[in-house]
């Protein structure tokens, strides 16, 4: 699938130190400084509705990871998926009497535009579930033949993963079995499905049903893929085993990332699936998680249509720490717009405080688990001094602007 169009990232003098990131599995901050190219897989959209500010915040988080790795001199190999076939997409298409393929294409196109406007560096590979079906079916068959999966005996052709084939199951989310059992049905799981060996076993392949799209699965029989195996197979196929970062919002901690890791680890024999499992906090509106099912969404495209500066949207989302669940408010946007105006005036000054010192301190904040609020405070201080006429460095304003552009993706 086509990715979106990137933009020039300014080159900065020197190099940043190693990035330190919180890993959900180890429940602590650890360096992410691989020897070779850095590899990252991020769980992308299910395109049945437009990009909302929650999606945007998560994409911005992993954009910062990519920018910080690049700043330390790493080549970055980044893959993101589009879940362009799944129940929610079919349900929405059905509700609106629309062709599911047209719906998915339209919303994916809008997402690309939003990503470009927000200056998100595109992934090297942007991959749809549908185009990956032959690979997924092949890997489900491997799991079946290996005894890690089983077919229900009710004639549906549905295939499930047997979680007893994953001895470390639970290590990624650190949840107790009771907690897992509570969350599983809330996030697409079907604990009560008759014939399963364990209520937590996740679906790998859904046999063809009347009125639902299906694809030939070879020996598996016709059907369509489960959700977790989709991400495991796409990531393994393009990035290999033990990727550096598996990313997404914290709504994917369980079961999605736990199950993807279990599938991938069983397929490759290599563990862990990811060196860091990185989860962005949920963006809410008025104290509730922003989600399609609740309908409390603020769309990036709506703000763009209202002529809101995408850089103000990006800045507003960066003003909270990526791991914190937080609420979107009109006020956040107003503050961001005012900040941008000040920074733009400061960057136009003939001189300002040291640009080198500003760059070093922003690097220090962002390599510390992406402390964007700390980095933005440093920009406020630099701008205050520049506007107050502290003029020790004629190259300061240009480096101030280049630092914000390269490391935070904020173009003044």
In angstroms, the CA 382 to CA 347 distance is 10
In angstroms, the CA 351 to CA 228 distance is 53
Which of 32, 39, 46, 108: binder of ligand 5CA (CB under 6 A)?
46
Which of 4, 32, 39, 54: binder of ligand 5CA (CB under 6 A)?
54
168 three-state secondary structure: coil
CB nearer to ligand 5CA: give 214 or 250.
250
CB of 48 to ligand 5CA, least distance (A): 8
Report in angstroms the alpha-carbon separations of 375 from 73, 280, 320, 354, 411.
20, 18, 11, 15, 15
Q: Which stretch binds ligand 5CA (CB under 6 A): 24-32, 196-204, 278-286, 366-374?
A: 278-286
Which of 65, 149, 267, 280: binder of ligand 5CA (CB under 6 A)?
280
Nearest Cα neighbor of 407 from 78, 116, 10 is 10
Which of 12, 38, 40, 57: binder of ligand 5CA (CB under 6 A)?
57
Token pair in block for residue 47: 């395109």
377 binds ligand 5CA (CB under 6 A): no
Peptide bond into 255 cis (omega under 30): yes
248 binds ligand 5CA (CB under 6 A): yes
166 binds Zn ion (CB under 5 A): no
Nearest Cα neighbor of 247 from 28, 65, 46 is 65
Residue 46: name its binding partner from Zn ion, ligand 5CA, none (Cβ under 5 to 8 Å by kind).
Answer: ligand 5CA
Element housing 276 (H / E): strand 274-280
165 three-state secondary structure: helix
CB of 78 to ligand 5CA, least distance (A): 14
Which of 12, 42, 43, 347: binder of Zn ion (CB under 5 A)?
43
Nearest Cα neighbor of 315 from 289, 345, 339, 346 is 339
Where does this chain bind Zn ion (CB under 5 A)?
43, 231
Where does this chain bind ligand 5CA (CB under 6 A)?
43-46, 54-55, 57-58, 81, 83, 231, 248-249, 251-252, 280, 282-283, 289-291
């Amino acid at each position: 699938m086509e990715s979106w169009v990137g933009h020039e990232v300014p080159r900065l003098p020197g190099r940043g130190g190693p990035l330190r990131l919180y890993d959900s599995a180890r429940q602590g901050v650890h360096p992410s400084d691989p020897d070779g190219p850095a590899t990252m897989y991020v769980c992308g959209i299910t395109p049945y509705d437009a990009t909302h500010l929650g999606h945007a915040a998560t994409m911005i988080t992993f954009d910062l990871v990519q920018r910080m790795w690049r700043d330390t001199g790493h080549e970055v190999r980044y893959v993101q998926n589009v879940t362009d076939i799944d129940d929610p997409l079919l349900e929405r298409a059905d509700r609106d009497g629309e062709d599911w393929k047209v719906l998915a294409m339209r919303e994916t196109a809008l997402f690309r535009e939003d990503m470009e406007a927000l200056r998100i560096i595109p992934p090297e590979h942007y991959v749809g579930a549908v185009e990956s079906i032959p690979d997924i079916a092949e890997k489900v068959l491997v799991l079946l033949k290996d005894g890690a999966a089983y077919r229900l005996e009710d004639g549906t052709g549905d295939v499930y993963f047997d979680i007893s084939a994953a001895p470390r199951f639970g290590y990624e989310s650190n949840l107790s079995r009771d907690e897992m059992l509570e969350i599983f049905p809330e996030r697409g799981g079907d604990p009560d499905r008759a014939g399963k060996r364990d209520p937590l076993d996740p679906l790998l392949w859904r046999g063809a049903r009347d009125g639902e799209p299906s694809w030939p699965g070879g020996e598996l029989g016709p059907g369509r893929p489960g959700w977790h195996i989709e991400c495991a197979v796409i990531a393994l196929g393009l990035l290999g085993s033990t990727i550096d970062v598996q990313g997404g919002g914290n709504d994917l901690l369980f079961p999605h990332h736990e199950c993807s890791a279990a599938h991938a680890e069983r397929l490759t024999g290599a563990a862990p699936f990811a060196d860091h499992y990185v989860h962005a906090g949920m963006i809410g509106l008025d104290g509730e998680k922003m989600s399609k099912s609740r309908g409390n969404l603020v769309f990036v495209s709506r703000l763009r249509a209202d002529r809101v500066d995408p850089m103000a949207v990006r800045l507003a989302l960066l003003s909270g720490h990526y791991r914190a669940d937080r609420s979107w408010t009109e006020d956040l946007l107003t503050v961001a717009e005012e900040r941008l105006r000040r920074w733009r005036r400061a960057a136009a000054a003939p001189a300002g405080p040291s640009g080198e010192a500003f760059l070093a301190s922003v690097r220090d904040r962002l390599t510390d688990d992406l402390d964007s609020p700390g980095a933005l405070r440093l920009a406020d201080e630099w701008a205050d001094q520049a506007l107050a006429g502290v003029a020790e460095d004629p190259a300061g304003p240009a480096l101030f602007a280049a630092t914000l552009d390269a490391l935070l993706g904020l173009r003044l």
